A and B are shown apart, each in its own frame.
Chain A
């Protein structure tokens, strides 16, 4: 790694589930300060890549580096993952979840958690198991975004969520909560965030079909993300 380059590097990563190769030499980078979007239909390996970055699923070969280093226990203070499912115990109240986070993470920012709670109009005394799907997703988002970390990974944050919640979550991307962080996001709902993303990685059958800078392709070729997707997937 060159000194000072801050990014997540995925290098020639392969992974099998039984005989099926779900990742077949995947390589791309996600820089700090940019929003990188992984796009592909279900089952192409988007979530698997996220889990592999967080060492939640082992890879068969290849290398994943965060700021030039393999993930280790301290890395979890500078990178966080917001999966599409709640990562706290359902019987907990939101405030219990906050206490848990404050107990274990030095990077937990309670003031920001409270700010997000107000923004999403949730109550600290709400029990997680009683929340709607949209509100559960919001709590999950708070648990990730209220950490002072350099990188945030989000897996399908808009999946199965009503239009108003989607708008609220999309608003987060334009706020100071995301600024200066490196974000990797997977989504089907590209329309919600097309104008916000800096970089796109198109995946299919466990390989990267195309990796491009959205601004660059807009300026040089006059194409939107959807245009490029159509070109690549319909080719």
Chain B
């Protein structure tokens, strides 16, 4: 276990500088974004007051809320950038050990530990990075909400509580409102990462043929994972209750993840080529 944690720490540190840049971009863009959005709204109100000689009460300006900011590129842009970067890193976290002058894969696979720990350490690193960005967002949103309140007078804004903010659809996707959603979203995420990792190991084991095996493995995994939904929709014509489907999906998800890790263990132990 100690060795595994050391490996997770090592993998985490390898991308940490770029991760800090990602965090910096997110903080800067969103803070600048909320200030800009708020000021634009206030300026519009001022124009009405100064140019149309209206009083605050006369202005028919739709009040701004955190919802408006959450729909803007200022808010969604850095989140999308973070998601895209981590998506690319899911592949790069493996290929960086083989490509170019870097042959660190020799060292990784000569460590006196079960090789599956390398796989699990890389998966844990991705999960930690994702959760880190979500945690950052949880810290940033109340700050951004506060900034909005500071800049926009109460007449021109609608206040949303943090609870209401987390119910905004695109925010709720990141920060699930219920335990069920949390399990569904994050287990699905971990499952997808494990499937992609296994597909990468197919490629690293069988090279060109491995790409085909990897694609087939991904397709088969998806088919098994979505089997309850597909059967319910097309064969049983919506026979099951959503809760029943949820648990069936959870079960097939676990089966797929277990198969994926078992296959990865076999490949990394017996077939992978350095």
Contacts and interface: CB of A to CB of B under 8 A. Distances in A.
Nearest to A57: B273
B40 to A, nearest CB: 43
B53 interface: no
B237 interface: no
Interface stretch (B109-117, B144-152, B179-187): B109-117
Nearest to A82: B106
B271 A77 contact: no
Contacts of B110: 54, 56, 76, 80-81, 87
Interface string A38-69: 00000000000001001111100000000000
A103 B2 CA distance: 10
Interface string B93-132: 0000000011110110111111100000000000000000
A87 B270 contact: no
A89 B100 CA distance: 12
B114 A73 contact: yes
Contacts of A87: 103-104, 106-107, 110
B114 A83 contact: no
A56 B103 contact: no
A85 B106 contact: yes
Contact of B6 (A51, A56, A88, A103): A103
A73 B118 CA distance: 13
A76 B106 contact: no
B235 to A, nearest CB: 42
A90 interface: yes
Contacts of A74: 112
Contacts of A81: 106, 110
Given A81-B106, A83-B103, A104-B3, A76 B274 contact: no
A73 B106 contact: no
B104 A105 contact: no
A55 B114 CA distance: 13
Contact of B109 (A56, A75, A106): A56
A51 B102 contact: no
A89 B102 contact: yes
B10 interface: yes
A145 to B, nearest CB: 15
Contacts of B113: 73, 104
A89 B102 CA distance: 7
29 contacts: A51-B274, A56-B106, A56-B110, A56-B273, A57-B273, A57-B274, A58-B271, A73-B112, A73-B115, A74-B112, A75-B112, A76-B110, A76-B112, A77-B112, A81-B106, A81-B110, A83-B106, A85-B101, A85-B106, A87-B106, A87-B110, A89-B102, A89-B104, A90-B101, A100-B10, A104-B3, A104-B6, A104-B111, A106-B112
Given A73-B115, A83-B103, 15 more contacts: A56-B109, A56-B110, A58-B205, A58-B273, A76-B112, A80-B110, A85-B101, A86-B101, A87-B103, A88-B107, A89-B14, A100-B107, A104-B6, A105-B111, A105-B112
Interface of A: 51, 54-58, 73-77, 80-81, 83, 85-90, 100, 103-106
